[in-house]
């Protein structure tokens, strides 16, 4: 089954906790701090694999979670960093945030990678908090929390040539005649209900990748028929083969309608090089119509060729013409490696509100992250967190908001503190 959209859940690995530990050895009564750092959590990475051509694998597995880093140990032992979790996707996959619909990345080239969730860094052991006046720090950090989000994946097939036309024009018959693809073929509209890819071997050294999409009818750009869900697949193609049904009631009207639907969906589609193939020339009625259609197309500036997909008449010549047109298409600039998706908001920014129970709630990327990395059972770690509250200006902001002695202050949804002056 062809699947061109999927939604998945991804989560990176949490960083390993740093350790609070003091050196213990026979005859050494007061060893210094030697708590090791935690290991880094694994990144969650999407990687292009050209062996894939659908998103069908995500119908059954839609949750992907990277490993956490290991905790630090005594004697300054650093925890093992986790391996990155790599999820393979087909070329042509567009990645969006499922909640905001923001574009995160566009994966086109073989082996291209996109980090969609960055692994948390390992927490620092108490060795890092030694100062000249604080020789035995009872402070360590928990590992940075994992990143998680829901992603919407959308596939746009990548082919050299996109075959378009109204339903039952013979697109699938043409594809089957020139490639090893075996699309469903029958004498009724909308036989093709999913895109088909095929490779046409012109000779030992030359080939073309062709994509046949379901037929386009009036209103397709708005989703009528099989509509806009398939029009996106020809956005990636370099050349368009426009197939006309020689037995249609009005092939010229069909030609104008298909071009109009493509233009309404994306104006750039109509600017792509286009070759028109007038199909079913093995039938006398179609052959009689050809001169009139050829004249119309030449006046419009389109190259046109008569063919019969059923008998193979002129099909090879069409393929070589498409190959020639393809050579004249400018090469696209190479896609640079995509950066990790980062939130747009300032991480130091915070917001203070009151909940329904009258408790103060502080929200912000940096302060909530720091709370999750604090060992609340260690007095030194708690004092360090209080220093951060002052540094970020949260203490002053709470006083200005009217916090009173004994009030409850929540940091995010998980950490509750009592305000004491």
Confidence of residue 325 (pLDDT cuts 50, 70, 90): very high
DSSP 263-327: HHH-GGGGGS-EEEEEE-TTSHHHHHHHHHHHHHHHHTT-EEEE-BTTTTBTHHHHHHHHHHHHH
Sheet of 360-364: strands edge to edge?
A: 350-354, 360-364, 408-411, 415-418
The pLDDT, as a whole number, for residue 109 is: 86
Distance separating alpha carbons of residues 94 and 110, to the nearest angstrom: 14
Q: Is 94 helix (H, G, I), strand (E, B) or coil?
A: strand
Distance separating alpha carbons of residues 378 and 124, to the nearest angstrom: 14
Average pLDDT over residues 72-80: 94
Rounded-to-10 torsion of CA 221, 227, 229, 231? -60
Distance separating alpha carbons of residues 249 and 121, to the nearest angstrom: 67
Rounded-to-10 torsion of CA 130, 133, 139, 143? -40
Cα separations (Å) of 15 from 67, 75, 76, 93, 119?
9, 19, 17, 29, 7
Average pLDDT over residues 384-391: 92
pLDDT > 90: percent of the chain: 52
Q: Which residue has the tokens 């994992």?
A: 146
Rg (CA), the chain: 31
* Beta strands 148-155; 360-364: pairing state: unpaired
Distance separating alpha carbons of residues 391 and 411, to the nearest angstrom: 16
**Residue 406's CB: how many other CB atoms inside 10 A?**
9
Q: Which residue has the tokens 């104006």?
A: 267
pLDDT tens for each residue of 116-152: 999 999 999 999 999 888 888 989 999 999 999 999 9
Question: What's CA 330's distance to the chain center, in Å?
Answer: 26
Class of residue 110 by CB neighbours under 10 A (exposed 0-12, middle 13-18, buried 19+): exposed
Nearest to 138 by CA among 213, 35, 51, 60: 35
Distance separating alpha carbons of residues 242 and 274, to the nearest angstrom: 7
Least confident of 163-172, 233-242, 250-259, 341-350: 341-350
The pLDDT, as a whole number, for residue 343 is: 52
Structure tokens, 67: 């490993």
Angle at 255 between CA 250 and CA 261, to 5 degrees: 125
Distance separating alpha carbons of residues 50 and 8, to the nearest angstrom: 20
The pLDDT, as a whole number, for residue 82 is: 96
Average pLDDT over residues 85-109: 91
Distance separating alpha carbons of residues 287 and 297, to the nearest angstrom: 16
Strongest mean pLDDT among 31-45, 49-63, 146-160:
31-45
The pLDDT, as a whole number, for residue 68 is: 97
Question: Mean of the per-residue pLDDT values for the chain?
Answer: 84
The pLDDT, as a whole number, for residue 186 is: 35
Distance separating alpha carbons of residues 280 and 206, to the nearest angstrom: 26
Which residues does residue 154 pair with via DSSP β-bridges, in sequence order? 5, 94
Distance separating alpha carbons of residues 198 and 176, to the nearest angstrom: 8
The pLDDT, as a whole number, for residue 404 is: 92
**Residue 270's CB: how many other CB atoms inside 10 A?**
15
Cα separations (Å) of 176 from 168, 194, 195, 312, 376?
14, 15, 13, 11, 67
32 and 130 in contact (C-beta within 8 Å)? yes
Residue 191 has pLDDT above 50, yes or no: no
SS (H, E, C) 46-74: EEECCCCCCCHHHHCCCEEECCCCCCCEC
pLDDT tens for each residue of 197-252: 777 888 877 878 887 776 553 443 344 344 445 567 677 788 999 999 999 889 99
Q: Domains of the chain (ranges plus CATH)?
A: 1-155 (2.70.210.12), 161-327 (3.40.50.300), 350-418 (3.30.300.350)
């Amino acid at each position: 089954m062809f699947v061109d959209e999927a939604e998945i859940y991804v989560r990176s690995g949490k960083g390993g906790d740093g350790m609070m530990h003091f050196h213990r050895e026979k005859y050494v009564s007061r060893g210094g701090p030697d708590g090791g750092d935690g290991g880094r959590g694994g990144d969650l990475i999407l990687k292009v694999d050209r062996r894939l051509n659908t998103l069908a694998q995500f119908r059954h597995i839609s949750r992907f979670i990277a490993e956490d880093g290991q905790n630090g140990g005594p004697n300054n032992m650093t925890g093992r960093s986790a391996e990155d979790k790599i999820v393979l996707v087909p070329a042509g996959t567009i990645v969006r945030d499922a909640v905001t619909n923001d574009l995160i990345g566009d994966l086109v080239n073989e082996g291209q990678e996109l980090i969609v969730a960055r692994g948390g860094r390992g927490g620092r052991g108490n060795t890092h908090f030694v100062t000249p006046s604080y020789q035995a720090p009872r402070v360590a950090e928990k590992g940075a929390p994992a990143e998680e989000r829901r992603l919407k994946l959308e596939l746009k097939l990548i082919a050299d040539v996109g075959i378009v036309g109204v339903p039952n024009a013979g697109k699938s018959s043409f594809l089957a005649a020139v490639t090893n693809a075996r699309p469903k073929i029958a004498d009724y509209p909308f036989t093709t209900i999913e895109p088909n890819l095929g490779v046409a071997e012109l000779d030992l050294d030359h080939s073309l990748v062709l994509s046949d999409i379901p037929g386009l009818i009036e209103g397709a750009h708005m989703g009528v028929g099989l509509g806009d869900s398939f029009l996106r697949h020809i956005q990636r193609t370099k050349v368009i083969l426009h197939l006309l049904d020689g037995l249609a009631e009005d092939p010229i009207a069909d030609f104008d309608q298909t071009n109009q639907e493509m233009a309404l969906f994306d104006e750039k589609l109509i600017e792509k090089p286009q070759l028109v193939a007038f199909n079913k020339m093995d039938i006398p009625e179609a052959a009689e119509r050809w001169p009139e259609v050829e004249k119309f197309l030449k006046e419009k500036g389109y190259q046109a060729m008569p063919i019969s997909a059923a008998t193979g008449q002129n099909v090879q010549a069409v393929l070589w013409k498409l190959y020639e047109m393809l050579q004249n298409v400018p090469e696209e600039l190479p896609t640079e490696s995509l950066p990790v998706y980062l939130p747009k908001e300032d991480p130091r920014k915070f917001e203070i509100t009151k909940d329904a129970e009258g408790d103060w709630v502080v929200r912000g990327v940096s302060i909530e992250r720091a709370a999750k990395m604090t060992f609340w059972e260690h007095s030194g770690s708690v004092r360090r967190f209080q220093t951060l509250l002052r540094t970020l200006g949260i203490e002053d902001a709470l006083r200005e908001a009217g916090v009173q002695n004994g009030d409850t202050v929540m940091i995010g949804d998980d950490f509750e503190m009592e305000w004491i002056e």
